Structure 1
Amino acid sequence: MREVVHVRAVGYDCDVLVVGGGIVGLSTAYAISRAAPGTRVTVLEKESGPARHQTGRNSGVIHSGIYYRPGSLKARYAVRGAAEMVKFCAEYGVSHAVTGKLIVATERAELPRLHALVQRGRENGIPVRELGATQIAEYEPEVRGLAAIHVGTTGICDYVGVARQLAEASGAEIRYGARVAHIDRRPERGVAVRTVTATGGDVVRARVLVNCAGLHCDEVARLTGDDPEMRIVPFRGEYYTLTRPELVRGLVYPVPDPAFPFLGVHLTRGIDGSVHLGPNAVPALAREGYDWGVVRPQEIAATATWPGTWHMARQHWRYGVGELRRSISKSAFTGAVQRLLPAVTPDDLIPSPAGVRAQAVLRDGTLVDDFLIKEGPRAVHVLNAPSPAATASLPIGREVARRALAALPRELQPR
């Protein structure tokens, strides 16, 4: 009698599997649930809760979009995202405030760049008020400068609170403590992801994978079999807390140097009333290297062997030397703050938790300045989500969700 073998169809644990429980990954899950109700979404996060890295370690600012080139993804998403973030926080009861901010020129060489920001803000549809030196005191009595602009749509919020609300409202299955170890992708079938957990691990099968792994996004892309054509080079942003918060009423920024994707040392009154000063930007010795004591040789080697790292270093070493000096010298850091806030002294500053920025660097050393989203078979990779990613997370999430849903089999796509 011939044996009959029953062939079981491939079973899926979910339709879309999101790797990364930061604000972009959770916004993507949230957007999928609204665009295509009934789509099964699972989020894998290696930490024990959401928003433990870039989302939970930034300055908490809702950016207006004034800095970004008109027409760029950054500009479009930031302007739209700022308004949506305020609305989301109000709807879900997340702490927030629309405070406005000052961008202050302290040297004559910065005045042309300040005027260029006025024009850029207007092109992006952002209300901007130009201020002379004496008018700065209307907003910030202790701040000094030659001229400034006031941007009324900037605010602050609790982004960790936003991430928690996105996780809850998405209806997705969130698996915390699940680190991605291996990915098997077959374009005709989808992906199978093996995870490592405290109790061993599991395999999660999905039709489409969305990579929102932040500091590890390039590694996840390579595990999927796609060449991201970039590498994440981690930069640590170091902060101090101001012991005399009464010196600063709101948010105060220097005029940024357009050659770099960093905004410089600025003053930020948080939603809890504390004032943070920073960040400076120094190379981190690990992707999660939140202080100089965290050193991971394998990750250093991966950064050092990427050609773009050395091209970048040759182009920007002078800038880097200044950042390193402020990192190892409190007096140098204080000097940078005193350009805006002369009354501050080194004794007014106490170290605050640092963050690490996942900076995408191309092979030729180019620092990717805009959002970078790429697709592969059954996969969508978010490869660069710099500031203002938290501000713009809702529209970014919709864009990533749109691409993920389009990668599903036709019968599962929303109509």
Structure 2
Amino acid sequence: MNATLKLLPLAVTAAWLAAAPAAHAAQDNVTALSNFQQTGNTAPAEQVPQTGARADALRQNLKAIKLPPGFRIDLYAVVPDARHMAIEPSTGVVFVGTRKARVWQVTDRTKRRVADDVVAFASSVTFKVPNGVCFSPDGVLYIVEQNRVLAFPAAQFFGEGGPDVAAAVVVPQGKLIPTKFESFNHGARACRIGPDKKLYIALGQPWNVPPKDQLAELDRNGLAGIIRMDQDGKNRETYAHGVRNSVGLDFNPKDKTLWFTDNQVDGMGDDIPPGELNHAPQAGQNFGFPWYGGGHVRTAEYKDSTPPAGVVFPQVEYAAHAADLGMSFYTGKMFPDRYQGGIFAAEHGSWNRTKPIGARIVFTPVNDDGSVGQTEVFAEGWLAPDGEYMGRPVDVQQLQDGSLLVSDDYAGAIYRISYGSSK
């Protein structure tokens, strides 16, 4: 990271822009921004209306969502293509990634627990699949694209100033994965800052099941795995191997260990293989892919190959093809005690199952010793009885008040789940 940005106070404003040199070529915008220079972009950031027919229709659809007694769900924001979310620790501003070319900044200015503004963040930057968003404890926003990682200090304040924001390159374009492995398939990343202050990134691989002659190179580069690195991009290593396509990870606040979801192999049948919730308490473990398609189910392509020694099987086997994505541990105080320390996970919904399944939020209790209880459906109704999707949940993250945000890239929305008299 640029040394200047390391020293940047989080309360800094965008005043430096007025004195910065003007006009850099569009392809050089990140370099300019990392040097506190203007890009010459004066176009106002795209804004998303929060009232009108679309918002009304989304609220109407939420009447079909079923929750446990005492819970309610409301529309928090209209956010096109909403995928993974990162909530800024001090202000509660929500940054939302997409699988397209936008990152959205969602601001609840009045603390009514509904968005006042939704605007495009850092519109001077040309993003490519900026799905992965996560904050460090000291307020640096990391955006993990398909093949690049950027850092934005004080993003919630710089984003208010217009299209130019302070930025730093953590991993340059084309250096997160070999460019030959770039694909429209499994290119959406997820990220977290770990208790060790390192940046963790889940890297999917581009096949349903990779060819055997590609496996060694995939593993060398951390694809089909989870990598970690210092927050400035140095000291990269592969933390977890044998992961097909994880798009959700979080650390248990009790013991600081990593958990993650994993999407499993398609085309093996309606009811196999199961989706996975995995626990990775230490570096170097192998979670079985591609020798296993999910759970203990062997793939046809690798059934005659010997799996690595010591394969770690999932803590939870989710329903087959439900497409388990974003997840988070619940640490708030709003929900009843039984939810404390457990995992909420979003199931995006199946795409090639004879009878669709998923489009819901599930909850798994996690005990003090790291063992798990029975997984249960917590919120459902985005999949209509006739098999039509009304929405497809992607991520679940907790607001400071203990309520839960749910993103939906199909309907283009973020919902808020609260409990009791809290609103």
- How high is the TM-score relative to the length of structure 2? 0.26
The structure in which a higher percent of residues are helix is 1
